[in-house]
Structure 1
Amino acid sequence: MKSLTIIIIGICIFFASPASSQPSSPLNGVYHTKVSGTNTLWLFSDGYSSQIVYKDTEYLFTKGGPYKYNGETLSIIVEYSDNDSSEVGKTQDIQMFLEGSNLKSPEGVVFKKQPTKTQELDGVWRISGRKQGDEINIIQRGDRKTIKILIDGYFQWVAINPSVKGFYGTGGGHYTHKDQQYTEHILFFSRDNSRVGNYLNFKGEIKDDSWHHSGNSSKGDPIYEIWSSE
């Protein structure tokens, strides 16, 4: 069923090949299309790409990694793909063209660019610490990581280990950040579809170039996390 979904939305034109050597330019922003009830959301932030496929009440799959774009070919070094882990570590080239501000596939599928909503937290972050009791436990950089991609009012977190093609969960949706108040509106969650539609409120502030994120998780557990630039 997942493979059929890819065919329907016309994005199954992936080919494992070396990354393009032509000049690249970033596609910072969010692009969306919906075909036969299936959403495809594409986030591009700070040289990182993530594609999420989901129905309004059902998560389907995601894949992503660092990317380059030369105006015709989108080259992605896949760091995660929960639909097909064999893709991890390969470079996939996707034909994709700019049509005005939108992206368009050779099959004619248009991914509409969402409005620009620049916020202080936009970028790609990696969890680097958690508070337990009164102490901050530093998370050393390694193969396993949890990253969070934020751009133009959308966010996605994903827990992965590219070295073993590991995928441990993802979630995302809309976000706002103003006056140290950070709010998430869940559009998809791989671990529990019933969380879709929930709003989560946190305190979020930048301290010494790190994002301090505190409040309650989707399960209601208190959290205090520190995120650093990926």
Structure 2
Amino acid sequence: MKKLTFLIVLILGFELSAQSLEGSWRLVEQNGLKLDTVEVIRIYEDNYFAENAKNNTTDEFLWAEGGEYQTGDYKEIIDFTTRDKDLVGATLDPKLTFINKDKIQINDVTNDEIWERISDAKNDLTGNWVITGRKSDGEISRSTPGDRRTIKILGGDRFQWAAFNSKTGEFFGSGAGTYQAKDGKYTENIENFSRDKNRVGAKLQFDYIFKDGEWHHIGKSSKGDPMYEIWSPYADAYQKKSIAEDDKY
């Protein structure tokens, strides 16, 4: 009997460890209540997550937040949040449980949330990126991202970018929505925009190429200005934080 119990525990433990968070998720229930007027989307990719929320009726931006996460003993390190600036830099340890492959439950001291997976699709640009360069008048200028940075995370057919300072807690903006990336063509469909809700519904098209592992993003900005951006994999631009070291927060 003891051998059978051990085998069951071993199998369940293996199944749990085999589950993947990568992709996009929608919050469908909070504290027993279905979400109807608010849309909350979260993307997990490359050990980073980003979340954005809007009012479904008015398209009003509600919040954005994100940071690194750890699986197994699930933890989050908050890099940016518009909900509580004092949480920037903190390590949170909510309980995350897989209900099934495409549904998870996240509990903390104030909320009990049910999330459903939207998609785990991957393509050329799937991953977490940070901007490290721009091209203007034929000249490329490079920068080393520090506390102030702009990241863009893409996964499960969803994208979110965010500009922030992870030291001061300042937040400069975020945009999110769906995207397609194939054969060098990248298209964004904006569904949430912190600076101007009137941008919701816009469709932006760009070209992309890869050079030395970096994403060169070419086209026009939402204002119609020429744009050439260089994005590097986040993991290459930053040394991975140790969550254990950050527990002091």
TM-score, with structure 2 as normaliser: 0.78
- The answer on whether the counterparts of 2:43 and 2:156 sit within 8 Å (CA) in structure 1 is no
Please, which of 55, 59, 63 is the counterpart of residue 61 of structure 2? 59
CA RMSD of aligned residues (A): 1.8
Find the aligned partners of 1:185 and 1:166 in 2 and give their Cα distance. Answer: 26
Q: Structure 2 counterpart of 1:32, which letter?
A: R
Q: 1:74 to 1:59 in 2, by over 3 A?
A: farther
Q: Which runs of 5 or more structure 1 residues have no equivalent in the other structure?
A: 1-22
Shift of 1:139: 1.4
- The answer on whether the counterparts of 1:79 and 1:89 sit within 8 Å (CA) in structure 2 is yes
Q: 1:36 to 1:25 in 2, by over 3 A?
A: closer
Shift of 1:27: 1.6
Q: 1:108 to 1:161 in 2, by over 3 A?
A: closer
Find the aligned partners of 2:212 and 2:159 in 1 and give their Cα distance. Answer: 22
Which residue number in structure 2 is paired with residue 189 of structure 1? Answer: 193
Higher helix share: 2
Please, which of 195, 198, 205 is the counterpart of residue 201 of structure 1? 205
**Paired residue total:** 206
Find the aligned partners of 1:48 and 1:109 in 2 and give their Cα distance. Answer: 19
Find the aligned partners of 1:27 and 1:196 in 2 and give their Cα distance. Answer: 27
Please, which of 31, 38, 53 is the counterpart of residue 25 of structure 2? 31
Q: Max radius of gyration: which structure?
A: 2
Q: Which runs of 5 or more structure 2 residues have no equivalent in the other structure?
A: 1-16, 29-34, 235-249
Please, which of 136, 143, 146 is the counterpart of residue 140 of structure 2? 136
Q: Structure 2 counterpart of 1:63, which letter?
A: E
Shift of 1:140: 2.0
- The answer on whether the counterparts of 1:25 and 1:68 sit within 8 Å (CA) in structure 2 is no
Which residue number in structure 2 is paired with residue 99 of structure 1? Answer: 99
- Map 1:1-230; keep pairs closer than 5 Å: 27-34=21-28, 35-56=35-56, 57-70=59-72, 74-101=74-101, 102-106=103-107, 109-230=113-234
Find the residue that maps to 1:137 and give its secondary structure: strand
TM-score, with structure 1 as normaliser: 0.84
Q: Structure 1 counterpart of 2:173, which letter?
A: G
Find the residue that maps to 1:185 and give its secondary structure: strand
